[in-house]
Amino acid sequence: MADVAPVRLKAPPAVTVVVPTRNEADNVRPLVEQLREALGGTPGEIVFVDDSDDHTPRAIAALSERDPEGVRLIHRTGAERTGGLGGAVTAGLAAARAPWVVVMDGDLQHPPATVPELLAAGQVDQADAVVASRYRTRGRVTGLGGAFRRIVSRASGTLARIFFPVRLRAVTDPMSGFFAVRRDALDITSLRPNGYKILLEVVVRGRMRQISEVPYTFQPRRAGESKASFREGLRYLRHLTLLRIGATRHPASPLGRFAGFALAGAIGTAVNSAALWALGEVAGLPYLLAAFLAVQVAIVWNFAVIDNLVMPPGEHARRRRFGRFLLLNNTLTPVHLGLLYGLVQLAGLHYLEANLLAVVAVFVLRYAVTSNWVYGA
């Protein structure tokens, strides 16, 4: 029998590792080396999605030249750089060729040795996603910097779990940027990435029947610096709210928008009552004047909340939106004060009670007009 050498078909990758990078020039080579070692015989590809301004793309290209199938580079420039970190991850998910995708940072804070554990848990548990968690037993945080960051990270995670108690039931670390997901469980076009918290998008919008977790220890950054910021924190709050009320689908669902508006209104009502109490009871102003000022306080408060968290970005400049908002809400102020006056003088209610009733009565009217006039929806 002739000794025919078998044709070597290059195995399709079993796993795609997506690594978002921004200015990680010194980290990419050790990362690739450690990933290769961690994956061992598992055929895999690494897809870097890079938004750098330094020479990181050159460092990646050099690695890719030696192993074009194993290391791929998506270099985003200019207008392609949408969605920040989350946008980069989404682009990587879209380019992935393997049935399982692992997402991890490029600065070695996520240990490559955990990657096989994520994949194994996915198999054993027949999971749709496996999250690497800092908060499972055995997992620890050593690299998160000061106590402040640790508290912020914990609080953000807890907030996410309050917003999504069912979806995040099994997830102790919703802030994790280190996870594995079955590509089939995701409809990538449904993702609306917005800054750092791409895992939330994946878990909330994906078809997740089973989510598992694997503990890991968050390592100190190897080189370079973190891109997290207060701004990212605000972006996160906005993202969470939009995700919850379904408003990231444009146009926003009217029901979700109404819910967001109502929630903001409820808090605004509390602000209004507190201001009225302070102005009327503490400062001793006449109740109608106190009520007028309390309305102004509440309007400013409501605008800040609604404009930042609830409404999708409008087409007008913020100052113009605020101008309209103020004007509009004040066109209803005579109605508000009229009702208040009537309820106090004619129905004999205490002005604090009467004010609450007036707020509720005006609220429905205000919602209808605002959503039409300020946001044109």
Residues near ligand GDD (CB under 6 A) are 20-22, 24, 49-51, 84-85, 88, 105-107, 109, 153, 175-177, 196, 226-228
| Contact partner, 49, from Mn ion, ligand GDD, none, Cβ < 5-8 Å per class | ligand GDD
Which residue's CB is nearer to ligand GDD, number 227 or number 324?
A: 227
Measured distance CA(313)–CA(248) in Å, rounded: 10
DSSP state of 49: E
Return the C-alpha torsion angle 348, 349, 355, 359, nearest 10.
Answer: -90
Integer Rg of the chain from CA: 26
| Contact partner, 227, from Mn ion, ligand GDD, none, Cβ < 5-8 Å per class | ligand GDD
**Residue appearing with tokens 């807890």:** 158
Q: Are 173 and 133 in contact (CB under 8 A)?
A: yes
**Hey, what are 338's tokens?**
């009229």
Which residue's CB is nearer to ligand GDD, number 219 or number 296?
A: 219
C-beta of 119: minimal distance to ligand GDD in Å? 19
What's the one-letter identity of residue 13? P
Which residue's CB is nearer to Mn ion, number 107 or number 128?
A: 107
Where does residue 372 rank: exposed (0-12), middle (13-18), buried (19+ CB within 10 A)? exposed
- x/- mask, Mn ion, residues 193-232, rule CB under 5 A, reads ---------------------------------x------
Which residue's CB is nearer to ligand GDD, number 175 or number 245?
A: 175
**Hey, what are 280's tokens?**
């009327």
Which residue's CB is nearer to ligand GDD, number 161 or number 324?
A: 161
C-beta of 6: minimal distance to ligand GDD in Å? 40
Which residue's CB is nearer to Mn ion, number 97 or number 149?
A: 149
- x/- mask, Mn ion, residues 77-116, rule CB under 5 A, reads ------------------------------x-x-------
Burial 261-296 (b: 16+ CB within 10 A, else e): bebbbeebbebbbebbbebbeeeebebeebbbbbbe
| Contact partner, 45, from ligand GDD, Mn ion, none, Cβ < 5-8 Å per class | none
Task: List residues near Mn ion by CB under 5 A.
Answer: 107, 109, 226
